[in-house]
Amino acid sequence: MNKLRNKVQLIGNVGERPEITELDNNHKVARLSLATNAHYKNAKGEKVKRTEWHTLIAWGKVAEIVERLVTKGQELAIEGKLTYRTYEDKENVKRQVTQIVISEILLLGKAKKNQDEDENAL
């Protein structure tokens, strides 16, 4: 049962091109957003689609995989753990951020065409 603690599994689409940062020790960190969708009927019987956005962080080898293979619109399955961190913004207001640190990643589908790539092709 210990392996079930703090385990997150999501399937969704990448919102923006992943942001890759190389650290001083030659390790990489990737930051990306993932959209997941839920469909349900409201009280009026109308179909509703609700999108949730998740902030994902990948370190080391997983970050290198993200850098090489993940693009905007790509469908992913990820497994990781939920983490929280706090910081002070420019106005010295304390903020809390919820993130998912990826331990496993699976590329599921082809990336949706990126508008930036379409414009560069012209």
Q: In terms of residue numbers, what domain contains 77? A: 2-121
Buried/exposed 3-17: b ≥16 CB within 10 Å, e otherwise: eeeeebebebbbbee
Average pLDDT over residues 72-97: 94
121, pLDDT greater than 50: no
Beta-bridge partners for 44: none
DSSP β-ladder status, 19-22 and 28-41: antiparallel
- Cβ(56)–Cβ(31) below 8 Å: yes
Confidence of residue 5 (pLDDT cuts 50, 70, 90): confident
Question: What is the structure's pLDDT at 103?
Answer: 95
pLDDT digits (tens, 9 = 90+) for 26-35: 899 999 999 9
Q: How many domains does the chain have?
A: 1
Indicate the pTM of the whole model. Answer: 0.78
CATH of the domain at 49: 2.40.50.140
Mean pLDDT over the full length of the chain: 88
Question: What is the structure's pLDDT at 110?
Answer: 66
Average pLDDT over residues 75-97: 94
Average pLDDT over residues 45-74: 95
